[in-house]
Amino acid sequence: MRTTTIEELLEDFEFLDSWEDRYRYIIELGDELEALDEVLRVEENRVQGCVSNVWLIASFDASSPPRISFRADSDSQLVRGLVSILIMLCNDQPAPTVLALDVEDLFTRLELRNHLSRSRSNGLFSMVKRIRVLAAQGIAQAEN
């Protein structure tokens, strides 16, 4: 999975003229996600608060602070794209950086809040919450 910066993502969105093109781009980003094995599609890895099924897992390296890598999948194309954006921003970052990322501001700047249904927006923030929980767990494990 490739990584990106907030600035690069904003530039990509600004380049696209219509929201139809932006939705298509989000779906294409989701197509880049590697599907999770069925053994990882368990309740323990499912993001609570999403209408669609979303599974999100993390792994950590041994650096200090630990760097975090994410894998995710969803049964919705658009949601796969949204979680893909989150992973692109957070993957292979130090866990404290992931915790400090202002995702809410980013999605406001991308105007996603205005173009997603309430249930999709709630699901998106549930994914952000899960990413933060996993990053905090990585920090706690490193401290022990």
Residues that are catalytic: 50
DSSP the chain: -----HHHHHHHHHH--SHHHHHHHHHHHHHTSPPPPGGG-SGGGBPTT-SS-EEEEEEE-SSSSPEEEEEEEESSHHHHHHHHHHHHHHTTEEHHHHHH--HHHHHHHTTHHHHS-HHHHHHHHHHHHHHHHHHHHHHHHHH-
